[in-house]
Amino acid sequence: MTADSAAKAKKIVLAYSGGLDTSIILKWLRTTYGAEEVIAFCADVGQADELDGLEAKALATGASKCYIRDLKEEFVRDYVFPAVRANAIYEGQYLLGTSLARPIIAKHMVEIARSEGADAVAHGATGKGNDQVRFELTTMALDGSLRTVAPWREWSFKSRTDLMAYAAANGIPVPVTAAKPYSTDRNLLHISFEGGVLEDPWNEPEEDMFLLTVAPEKAPDRPRYVEIGFERGDAVAVDGEALSPAELLARLNAIAGENGVGRVDIVESRFVGMKSRGVYETPGGTLLHFAHRNLESLTLDREVIALKDSLVPRYAGMVYNGFWFAPEREALQSMIDGTQAKVTGTVRLKLYKGGLWTAGRKSPHSLYDPEFATFEEDAVYDQADAGGFIRVNGLRLRIPLKLADERRKGWWRWGKAPGAAPGRPATAGRAAGGPRRFRRQPGELLPPGGPRPPPGPASPRLPGPKRPPRPPRAPARLLPPSRKPPRGAAPLRPQGPRPRRRRPRGAVPPRQQGPRPRRRRPRGAVRSRLLSRMPPPVFLCPPRT
């Protein structure tokens, strides 16, 4: 955003969380940026006690108004559940907790900006992260007339240490301290930790950092069983009790958290091109993804599962990169939702000290038939049929080997053109023992540059234009003895082919006569005698006996 366009943004809606970044931004927009009015908006997507006193803090820092909207049910129903139906996991580990929360926050921020007549929105995402892309792409998709103010790309602060110093100088209370300078983001699906001591990927996360899960060593000594009920791909009940989407996810967070399930420490690939280390707690989301995947294995066809699995990286990448409201994500979601019509049933999970296992699964739409799968005697499956099935599927594996074997034997040829006269494939042009020369019969195809068929009986030479005779070679012209070259002139060599010198039988070649010339060794070369004096090599593995 240029300085000219920024000067026109007089009324701004800020995505406010009360953390370090947005607390400084709220003050900076009023004092340094020059905004006439800043409206703080906080989306309640499950931050728990982080919202306590948030409105009073925003008004004291400089906000003219503060909106706090409870979006927990909408967040889980319209954002978390669609991602679970798609099995969306970024780079095989990240369950997209922050990526799913940013679109709903930006959506309601745009709605408030329209109702308040604001001409710009603002966010606290840094210029290095993914959140700036997610906020701004969502704003562009929903209202292209709104401008976006990104203070991290404009102000003079270079680090969070500078922000903490600014907060101390202006009396702004922030939850970040010098002892724990990492950044956190919490919602009903997860909580993330980045920065500070975690910037070194070799450092192990400190145990007192975690909020939603206990350490596996401190988890109960008895396993915990939980049953999750699904209807059309969405979780609807826990242990037989029907719950709303937000209540269900909160219940699973408590069950998984007290058993140490849901921690992940990853290095992810950011959309802007760099690597980032993040530590995440996603207890309830881990149970949802695991149970949903198990139920799909029971109710979906093999090819449907394979197709969905091939689309998971693409879908997760769209969500991670901020394209939630893009048409390609919505089209892909429609296709995925069409596969969930029969994903209904119950999955029983076993949790124990950070581990997670499947203890059972059932569905009224199950594709599992015990009569076919049994190892005992059955009357519905003829095991002899498997032989033909395997031979047909192995045909493409056997044909290349058969053709390669025929090529090695020399009996392979491409075949004859339609209407070709019968005859042998090729002929030998010389007597036995000499090099073979093959000739093509009329209408016959031979592989260019490939193996040739064996010679057959002699055949007449095909008619065709004859090669013109070679002109006679001119005799050598020698100077008569009386004509000698003048003194100092180079002697004339006889023209024509040079006569071949024949060595008498038993004569020693000239190169073997006399002493053999000594070869000079280049400087720095090692004498071959020294190699025999070197100690034998040391093998890391004992030699075979």
What residues are annotated to the active site? 21, 102, 131, 183
Cβ contacts of 276 within 8 Å, gap of 6 or more: 129, 194, 267, 268, 270
Which CB contacts under 8 angstroms, 24+ apart, belong to 114-118? 114/143, 116/11, 116/13, 116/39, 116/65, 117/11, 118/11, 118/12, 118/13, 118/39, 118/146
Name the 3-class secondary structure at 379.
coil
| Sheet with strand 275-281: strands edge to edge | 183-186, 191-194, 275-281, 263-269
β-pairing, 37-44 vs 65-70, is parallel
Between CA 69 and CA 76 the distance in angstroms is 15
470 exposed, middle or buried (CB, 10 Å; 0-12, 13-18, 19+)?
exposed
Length of the chain: 545
Q: Across-strand partners of 275?
A: 269
CB–CB of 135/171 below 8 Å? Answer: no
From its phi and psi, is residue 284 left (phi > 0), alpha (psi between -120 and 50) or beta? alpha
Q: Which two tokens stand for residue 85?
A: 């139906």
Between CA 535 and CA 213 the distance in angstroms is 60
Runs of H (alpha helix) within 181-301:
245-257, 283-299
* Angle (deg, nearest 10), helices 160-170 and 20-28: 60
Q: Which two tokens stand for residue 341?
A: 């019509």
Q: Across-strand partners of 192?
A: 185, 280
Residue 292 CA from chain centroid, whole number: 23
Residue 42 CA from chain centroid, whole number: 34
Position 420: which residue type?
Answer: A
β-pairing, 241-242 vs 415-416, is unpaired
**Residue 315: its H or E element:** helix 302-320
Between CA 254 and CA 433 the distance in angstroms is 88
Between CA 382 and CA 120 the distance in angstroms is 70
